[in-house]
Chain A
């Protein structure tokens, strides 16, 4: 019931503030020299984004974001860092030599896109008087209109699962074969 007492202007203020936090965390994610910190800043970024979803009245997406991204993806990434023996602490070579080119491309892209987006949408206004993304609404939409893509997505996930397993196991099988021949 927060939207009852927050004025629309208040929602905007909160959105901008949280957005600044999100952006700052994202910048730290891509610029910090400590790899593990990078993953933690990613958590902040994605969590902030969940808040933004809430502010946009898409509460189901927000919870899914928190659950999947913050809960599993970041954990997976941390596992990956650990398995590849990422150094704990500052590593001076976290950025590749492509850094300045990347900065140029990204900056140019940002300028262009901001210019285009602002130019296109500066007069548009989102009315937030009615919640658009409650769990009930989303559940109805997903399982009424989007059930087939949903099922296809589940097959995709299964395939990804199998693929990940195959990719990880290929080496160990070869080694097992080698050991078998040795013994």
Chain B
């Protein structure tokens, strides 16, 4: 089989698996697991084979036009270049890992069959987006991903959070998809083709596109929606109400990266407009700084990771804003690996802890003993996230910062504005500091309670669980379900083997992917991705500063935290991890207050959360709520729409319905009047009949006589 056939099989296999699982999953539940894992694994293998065969050489194009569709032809086109095949490998590997992980994570879930089918369908759609050489085909995959995301976020639909989050994710991404569609149409209209190659040729040709800024901004709206960039990022933190493997696959590694990937594919279109690049840069800067601040204040471990995802995607768009798609894709690949790992670790930890609240985890004993695999892989993945040198995140982030530096110095090539470079560089460095800080916070808090000796030295207080309860937290304890400060050591929450194994599989690229930095330019655009000295020193130094500052803050809080018990007990510790997570989601708000923000202070008013010390109370509160962006949306969109809906309801009920009711009442009254005529008396009927015919006869006679007399 040639490479093209293999590449066609890659999206086709998960698609067929999804169809088969949807059809058979209910009847033969034992088939659901093989149908989920095997085709995905095969597709991942084929993606690797395609990547090896393509080998970073010339782009491979194949297309087939199914039917003439009118003015602009739509073709089933494949475009395999280094970007595509590498991204496909990432998608395949992460999807495989997630499917294997899910067999353990949702091992008793009654809806596992449809869940795995949707994941397979999503995988197929993502492959389609990656391999597609035609904008409409790409759009098909793009929308299938959106709907799969909607269904999968709402997997725990028993909880109101998941229902609201799925609808929010769908609506917000659609808000971006509509302009995206128009952008595609404008692009195709001007280029005369939907083929990406044709579009790009047109974009860099002599006259270029007629309205590059407009098109770029329209496309950007869709990208912002899909890739969760400011201001359409608000759906992603809420989408964490979905199962953790879904978060890992869709909301960290692949779908949210699809927006970045599309911009990377269409980069010449964006590069044609300086304004679009500056907008892209500002968007990326706001996104990464804001999300990093928000991540510092989140209590839900998955929301921290979600904001971190938003921030890392900001890095990628920043790299694109300075015209370096190599750096963007590089960061996409490494981020996909370590963020998937982070999420999967979070899933294990949530299961082990029985809660998704960091504040509660920080007070637990033995988390690192009960989930050692998760704990240590989490550490490495967080180091990669914080861009600490030997790990993959360091190289890719330095590639982004290096590209920004090139833009500043003017080495990046014509058409790349230096101001974009400055924006990305400054924001990127600030974010490096913040990222390191929140990564440290996450690790320190999720690691459980520090060793008793350390706590004892800092704050000689009651250590045993017993005396803690009636302590200063008695008021809180009454409102918390089973306010057990520590989890019993014999917690039976065993992590399934499949889940731990997957963690170590993903550990490899997280730790070592950066070493490919020398080979990668052969596959990608050919620019060097090696770290430059200035940015390395600046970025790593800032990251270390962030780590140290957070550590210092944490040391201050441990004493207070230890004195303020806060805990959770999983209702079903022995059940499948998905059930633990669902219960954790459902109980978070009643137990710990708002899902977004941690209880930052003890009842005595002393800060318990290291993030609060660093940010200050006001900023901490604002960041915890995502800078009140949801409230802004509520004021800008929700309230006008609700008011308009109220108006429409009023018009419908009071105005339109009046006509409808009148249309019903009038014939009824007429009918009541006519009904009186129906007396049942045959003689009356007959009289009326004969009188009528008599009148007719007289009329006919009169007409005839006048007619004859007249004629």
**A residues neighboring B (CB under 8 Å):** 96, 98, 101-102, 104-105, 108-109, 112, 116
Contacts and interface: CB of A to CB of B under 8 A. Distances in A.
Contact of B701 (A102, A105, A112): A112
B701 A101 contact: no
Nearest to B697: A112
A97 to B, nearest CB: 8
Contacts of A109: 690, 694
Nearest to A112: B698
A96 B687 contact: no
Interface string B511-542: 00000000000000000000000000000000
Contacts, number: 24
Contact of A102 (B683, B694, B697, B698): B683
Given A98-B684, A102-B687, A108-B694, 6 more contacts: A98-B683, A98-B687, A104-B691, A105-B687, A105-B690, A109-B690
A98 B687 CA distance: 8
Contacts of B478: none
B694 A101 contact: no
A105 B690 CA distance: 7
Interface string B144-179: 000000000000000000000000000000000000
Nearest to B683: A98
A96 B687 CA distance: 13
A173 to B, nearest CB: 28
A109 to B, nearest CB: 5
B453 interface: no
A1 B334 CA distance: 136
A108 B691 CA distance: 9
B680 to A, nearest CB: 13
Contacts of A108: 691, 694
Interface of B: 681, 683-684, 687, 690-691, 694, 697-698, 701
A8 to B, nearest CB: 31
A1 B691 CA distance: 46
B263 to A, nearest CB: 90
A interface majority secondary structure: helix
A102 B684 CA distance: 9
Contacts of B687: 98, 101-102, 105
Contacts of B683: 96, 98, 102
Contacts of A105: 687, 690-691, 694
User: Which of B694, B697, B701 neighbours the largest number of chain A CB atoms within 10 Å of its CB?
Assistant: B694
A102 B694 CA distance: 13
A116 B704 CA distance: 11
Nearest to B691: A105
A23 to B, nearest CB: 20
Given A105-B687, A116-B701, A98 B681 contact: yes
A101 B683 CA distance: 10
Contacts of A104: 691
Nearest to A102: B687
User: Which of A98, A104, A105 neighbours the largest number of chain B CB atoms within 10 Å of its CB?
Assistant: A105
12 contacts: A96-B683, A98-B681, A98-B684, A101-B684, A101-B687, A104-B691, A105-B687, A105-B694, A108-B694, A109-B690, A109-B694, A116-B701
Contacts of B690: 105, 109
A108 B701 CA distance: 14
Contacts of A96: 681, 683
A96 B684 CA distance: 10
B701 to A, nearest CB: 6
Nearest to B689: A105
B693 to A, nearest CB: 9
B689 to A, nearest CB: 10
Contacts of B698: 112
A104 B694 CA distance: 11
Nearest to A96: B683
Contacts of A116: 701
A54 to B, nearest CB: 32
A112 B684 contact: no
A104 B684 CA distance: 13
Nearest to A109: B694
Q: Lowest 10 A-B CB distances belong to which pairs?
A: A98-B683, A101-B687, A105-B691, A105-B690, A105-B687, A109-B694, A112-B698, A108-B694, A116-B701, A96-B683
Contacts of B681: 96, 98
A102 B701 CA distance: 22
A105 B692 CA distance: 10
B611 to A, nearest CB: 94
Contacts of A98: 681, 683-684, 687
A116 B701 CA distance: 8
A105 B694 CA distance: 8
A116 B683 CA distance: 26
Contacts of B691: 104-105, 108
Nearest to B698: A112
A93 to B, nearest CB: 14
Contacts of A101: 684, 687
B255 to A, nearest CB: 80
B706 to A, nearest CB: 13
A150 to B, nearest CB: 32
A112 B694 CA distance: 8
A67 B258 CA distance: 107
Contacts of B684: 98, 101
A38 to B, nearest CB: 17
A114 to B, nearest CB: 12
Contacts of B701: 112, 116
A80 B127 CA distance: 96
A112 B691 CA distance: 12
Contacts of B697: 112
A133 B701 CA distance: 33
A102 B689 CA distance: 12
A108 B697 CA distance: 11
A156 B698 CA distance: 36
A129 B694 CA distance: 37
A167 to B, nearest CB: 19
Nearest to B705: A119
Nearest to A101: B687
B265 to A, nearest CB: 89
A44 to B, nearest CB: 25
Nearest to A119: B705
B707 to A, nearest CB: 15
A110 to B, nearest CB: 10
A104 B681 CA distance: 18
A119 to B, nearest CB: 8
A113 to B, nearest CB: 9
B341 to A, nearest CB: 89
A112 B705 CA distance: 13
A104 B690 CA distance: 11
B705 to A, nearest CB: 8
A104 to B, nearest CB: 8
A30 to B, nearest CB: 13
A105 B698 CA distance: 13
Nearest to B693: A109
A100 to B, nearest CB: 10
Nearest to A115: B701
